């Protein structure tokens, strides 16, 4: 698409989701040590941690698969 | 507007964003602007700017096709409708979308694609001539900026409710960002960002449904709670309450849903609204163009999981009862606040930022869709057709870029007009029936009936549009007139929209047929590539079964019927 050197949209998606995954997972682990004063419903499930990991996994798959490589 | 702004300033916000949430949102803005800057170098010609170089894969065109329709209005408005009307709101995602999307892919796409038109008004010009194109382009431009205004209002409302942000601040920051990346990269940039936004919408919103189902005890637990909390009302059946106008909370019957929504409005929107059709026209070949709406339909069919389900879950788990806009008072939350309330219920720092980003992404994808389509239609179908025919390609690209800015500015202006309306979604349906329903009559006759003439197409479109506006004005002036439009004294607003669309389509078709039979048809040689029976459609016989669009369309329609039966 659009010639050699063109960066795929899937790569951009991988970058953003990976960044979000790291940010949200780290936030989730931080909350384990310092629980918020007004926790959301079902806070005990620690959705922040596992959802952050899901984002990171999806992001890394796209990041690696569509990483621009010199030919 | 002043009263709303005052309300926005005085209202208490639901929650505050943490630094992590703000970082998530800032990263999103940096990424979409970065994509716009990156793609600017790839948008040099008119084909690049207005049709993304006609080089998109079926997947990218298909995801963009659905994402362009996913404004914040879709997310917030239909979650609100699910709370208000129950699972009936799902009809707008299933019967109100899937058959039409498949019809676009399998039947109509070859004519759009083979004619090499750049827009739907452009197709009308080829088929019916300049008057039909002019009428369609002007009505589309008007509808587009109004829709943008609605999207902006929805977005600003979310920011007011959740974060306490000033309405004007929300509108201007998001709008300028959209204007910037579409200005830089045109449709290519809009499509790329729509695909990104599609991911963010799903990943940001699905967490509400997952956690909501856990809290409610699964689907059966949710249904049990709803029946317990709302006795005597049927919120969980798709079809069984549609036998009469009084047996369901929407005040509509099956004929209005099937004929008005499922046929006229749905087919009109998904097959002739250039906002979505433009995404498919960017596909790299005919097979991709046919597959794109079919791929889109699979994701569209799954959307109730992140849009309708949160509304139903709110019926089951929210301690307070939400009210309509007109009943909102101190401390009471409205239907439109249901999605933000559910977000606040389940999401802590980080996830909250992701959820807010999903709403912002929804707004931006919807607005970018409107703005890029507006720029194309204005540049090609109004400016080039009626103002300056012989300019260079680079001149039209430049005009397209500045039309992007103009479209955003006009949309901002119309956002304040939209604020006067109490029910956002009802207004959208009114807009659809004004322009889209008759346009579908004109396009479908043009594609399938060789005898349709230029005069028939123009007068059918004009009469259908005026009839729709006339019916709207009639009911506004005399609400009791609704019984004549919807054929029942028990009909409510939503039924009026469905039936008005149906009547305007029927009027358009009748006038087109009558005028066509009384006027001279175009010679068949001029209909090649435009009309069924005069166009050679490339065969797909050499493709294996799993690569044929028709096969996947059949798979989708089977799933569609199964889902409707399960939730009957």
Question: A18 touching B, CB under 8 A?
Answer: no
Residue of B nearest to A14 (CA): B196
* Confidence (pLDDT) at B44: 86
Question: A33 touching B, CB under 8 A?
Answer: no
Total Cβ atoms within 10 A of residue B324? 14
Buried b (16+ CB within 10 A) or exposed e, B133-163: bbbbbbbbbbbbbbbbbbbbbbbbbbbbbbb
Judge: A23–B57 Cβ closer than 8 Å, yes or no: no
Q: Which of B24, B31, B346 sits opposite A23 (nearest CB)?
A: B24
| Greatest Cα-to-Cα distance within chain B, rounded to the nearest angstrom | 69
Selected residue of B201, B349, B352 to mutate for chain A interface (largest A Cβ count, 10 A): B349
Q: Which of A2, A24, A58 sits opposite B351 (nearest CB)?
A: A24
Distance CA B412, CA B300 (A): 28
Buried b (16+ CB within 10 A) or exposed e, A18-41: bbbbebbbebbeebeeeeeeeebb
Q: Coil, strand or helix: which one is B293?
A: helix
Question: B22 touching A, CB under 8 A?
Answer: no
Distance CA A48, CA B443 (A): 49
Q: How far is B81 from chain A (nearest CA, A)?
A: 24
- CA nearest B200: which of B20, B394, B408, B354? B354
Q: What is the pLDDT along chain B (568 residues), one digit of tens a residue?
A: 333 334 444 456 666 788 999 999 999 999 999 999 999 988 888 888 888 888 899 999 999 989 888 766 677 888 988 998 889 999 999 999 999 999 999 998 988 888 888 889 999 999 999 999 999 999 888 888 877 887 777 777 777 777 788 878 888 888 888 899 899 989 889 898 889 888 888 998 899 999 999 999 999 999 999 999 888 778 888 888 877 777 777 777 788 888 888 888 899 889 988 888 888 999 999 999 999 999 999 999 999 999 999 999 999 999 888 877 667 666 777 887 888 889 889 988 899 899 888 888 888 888 888 888 899 999 999 999 989 888 999 999 999 999 999 989 988 887 777 666 545 545 665 776 688 889 999 999 999 999 999 999 999 999 999 999 999 889 888 888 888 888 787 777 777 888 888 899 999 999 999 999 999 999 988 898 898 888 888 887 788 888 899 999 999 999 999 999 998 8
Please indicate, yes or no, if residue B345 is contained in any of the structural domains: yes
Please indicate, yes or no, if residue A2 is contained in any of the structural domains: no
Lookup: tokens for B174: 């998001």
Helical segments of A2-66, H only: 9-33, 47-65
Residue of B nearest to A13 (CA): B196
**Which residues of chain A make contact with B347, given a CB cutoff of 8 A?**
40, 47
3-state DSSP of B451-511: CCCHHHHHHHHHHHHHHHHHHHHHHHHCHHHHHHHCCCCCCCHHHHHHHHHHHHHHHHHHH
β-bridge partners, B283: B56
Residue B349 φ then ψ, to 5°: -55, 140
Angstrom distances, CA of residue A3 to CA of A7, A71, B342: 10, 13, 45
B 346-365 residues with CB < 8 A to A: 346-351, 354
Question: B312 touching A, CB under 8 A?
Answer: no
Question: B186 touching A, CB under 8 A?
Answer: no
**Which residues of chain A make contact with B195, given a CB cutoff of 8 A?**
9, 13
Please indicate, yes or no, if residue A3 is contained in any of the structural domains: no
Question: A46 touching B, CB under 8 A?
Answer: no
Q: Coil, strand or helix: which one is B282?
A: coil
Cβ contact B193:B34 at 8 Å: no
Please indicate, yes or no, if residue A52 is contained in any of the structural domains: yes
- The ipTM, to two decimals, is 0.94
Judge: B192–A51 Cβ closer than 8 Å, yes or no: no
**CA torsion angle B439 B445 B448 B454 (round to 10):** -100
Selected residue of A13, A25, A40 to mutate for chain B interface (largest B Cβ count, 10 A): A40
Question: B251 touching A, CB under 8 A?
Answer: no
Lookup: tokens for B182: 């579409």
For every residue of B303-348, DSSP letters joined together read GGGTTHHHHHHHHHH-SSPPB-GGG--TTPPBGGGHHHHHHHHH--
Judge: B215–A41 Cβ closer than 8 Å, yes or no: yes
Q: How far is A64 from chain B (nearest CA, A)?
A: 17
Please indicate, yes or no, if residue A70 is contained in any of the structural domains: no
Please indicate, yes or no, if residue A71 is contained in any of the structural domains: no
CATH for B92: 1.20.1730.10
Total Cβ atoms within 10 A of residue B121? 27
Judge: B348–A2 Cβ closer than 8 Å, yes or no: no
Distance CA B244, CA B386 (A): 50
Distance CA B449, CA B439 (A): 15
Q: In which domain, by residue range, is B73 found?
A: 2-422
**Which residues of chain B make contact with A27, given a CB cutoff of 8 A?**
20, 349-350
Please indicate, yes or no, if residue B493 is contained in any of the structural domains: no
* Confidence (pLDDT) at B4: 39
For every residue of B185-204, DSSP letters joined together read HHHHHHHHHHHHHHHHHHHH
Count of structural domains within chain B: 1
Distance CA B399, CA B403 (A): 6
Judge: B351–A51 Cβ closer than 8 Å, yes or no: yes
Please indicate, yes or no, if residue A56 is contained in any of the structural domains: yes
Angstrom distances, CA of residue B19 to CA of B207, B317, B446: 21, 29, 56
Judge: A2–B35 Cβ closer than 8 Å, yes or no: no
- CA nearest B568: which of B220, B247, B237? B237
Distance CA B108, CA B207 (A): 37
Q: In which domain, by residue range, is A32 found?
A: 9-65
Cβ contact B549:B291 at 8 Å: yes
Question: B517 touching A, CB under 8 A?
Answer: no
DSSP 8-state symbol, B266: H
Cβ contact B365:B183 at 8 Å: no
Distance CA B189, CA A9 (A): 10
Please indicate, yes or no, if residue B353 is contained in any of the structural domains: yes
Q: Coil, strand or helix: which one is A46?
A: coil
Q: Which of B23, B27, B351 sits opposite A47 (nearest CB)?
A: B351
| Greatest Cα-to-Cα distance within chain A, rounded to the nearest angstrom | 53
Count of structural domains within chain A: 1
Q: How far is B188 from chain A (nearest CA, A)?
A: 10
Judge: B57–A55 Cβ closer than 8 Å, yes or no: no
């Amino acid at each position: 698409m659009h010639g050699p050197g063109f960066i795929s949209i899937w790569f951009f998606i991988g970058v953003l989701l990976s960044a979000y995954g790291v940010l949200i997972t780290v936030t989730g682990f931080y909350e384990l040590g310092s629980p918020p004063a007004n926790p959301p419903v079902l806070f005990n499930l620690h959705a922040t941690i596992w959802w952050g990991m899901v984002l990171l996994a999806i992001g890394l798959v796209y990041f690696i698969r569509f990483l621009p490589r010199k030919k | 507007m002043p009263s709303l702004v005052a309300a926005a300033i005085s209202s208490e916000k639901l929650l505050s964003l943490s630094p992590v949430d703000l970082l998530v949102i800032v990263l999103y803005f940096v990424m979409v602007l970065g994509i716009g800057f990156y793609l600017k170098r790839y948008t040099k010609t008119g084909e690049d700017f207005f049709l993304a170089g006609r080089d998109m894969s079926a997947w990218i065109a298909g995801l963009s096709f659905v994402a362009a329709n996913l404004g914040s209005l879709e997310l917030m408005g239909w979650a609100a409708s699910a709370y208000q009307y129950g699972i009936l709101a799902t009809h707008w995602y299933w019967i109100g979308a899937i058959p039409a999307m498949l019809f676009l892919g399998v039947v109509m796409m070859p004519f759009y694609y083979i004619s090499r038109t750049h827009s739907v008004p452009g197709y009308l010009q080829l088929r019916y001539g300049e008057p039909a194109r002019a009428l369609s382009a002007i009505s589309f431009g008007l509808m587009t900026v109004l829709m943008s205004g609605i999207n902006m209002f929805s977005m600003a409302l979310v920011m007011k409710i959740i974060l306490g942000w000033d309405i004007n601040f929300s509108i201007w920051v998001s709008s300028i960002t959209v204007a910037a990346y579409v200005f830089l990269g045109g449709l290519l940039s809009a499509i790329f960002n729509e695909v990104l936004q599609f991911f963010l919408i799903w990943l940001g919103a699905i967490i509400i449904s997952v956690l909501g189902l856990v809290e409610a005890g699964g689907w059966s637990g949710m249904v049990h709670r709803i029946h317990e909390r709302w006795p005597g009302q049927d919120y969980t059946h798709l079809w069984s309450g549609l036998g009469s106008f009084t047996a369901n909370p929407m005040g509509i019957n099956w004929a209005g849903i099937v004929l008005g929504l499922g046929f006229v409005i749905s087919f009109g929107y998904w097959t002739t609204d250039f906002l979505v059709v433009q995404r498919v026209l960017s596909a790299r070949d005919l097979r991709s163009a046919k597959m794109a709406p079919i791929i889109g339909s699979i994701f569209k069919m799954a959307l109730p999981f992140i849009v309708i389900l949160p509304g139903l879950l709110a019926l089951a788990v929210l301690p307070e009862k939400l009210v309509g806009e007109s009943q909102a008072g101190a401390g009471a939350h409205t239907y439109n606040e249901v999605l933000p309330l559910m977000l606040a219920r389940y999401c802590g720092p980080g996830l909250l930022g992701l959820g807010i980003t999903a709403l912002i992404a929804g707004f931006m994808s919807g607005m970018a869709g409107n703005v890029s389509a507006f720029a194309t239609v204005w540049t090609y179908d109004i400016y080039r057709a009626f103002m300056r025919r012989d300019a260079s390609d680079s001149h039209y690209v430049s005009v397209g870029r500045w039309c992007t800015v103009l479209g955003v500015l006009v949309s901002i202006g119309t956002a304040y007009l939209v604020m006067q309306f109490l029910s956002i979604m009802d207004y959208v349906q009114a807009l659809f029936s004004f322009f889209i329903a008759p346009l579908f009559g004109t396009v479908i006759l043009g594609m399938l009936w060789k005898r349709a003439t230029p005069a028939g197409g123009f007068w059918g479109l004009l009469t259908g549009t005026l009839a729709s506006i006339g019916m709207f004005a009639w009911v506004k002036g005399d609400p009791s007139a609704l019984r004549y439009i919807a054929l029942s004294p028990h009909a409510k607003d939503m039924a009026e929209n469905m039936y008005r669309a149906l009547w305007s389509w029927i009027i358009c078709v009748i006038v087109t047929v009558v005028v066509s039979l009384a006027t001279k048809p175009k010679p068949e040689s001029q209909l090649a590539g435009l009309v069924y029976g005069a166009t050679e459609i490339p065969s797909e016989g050499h493709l294996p079964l799993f690569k044929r669009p028709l096969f996947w369309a059949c798979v989708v329609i089977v799933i569609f019927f199964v889902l409707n039966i399960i939730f009957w």
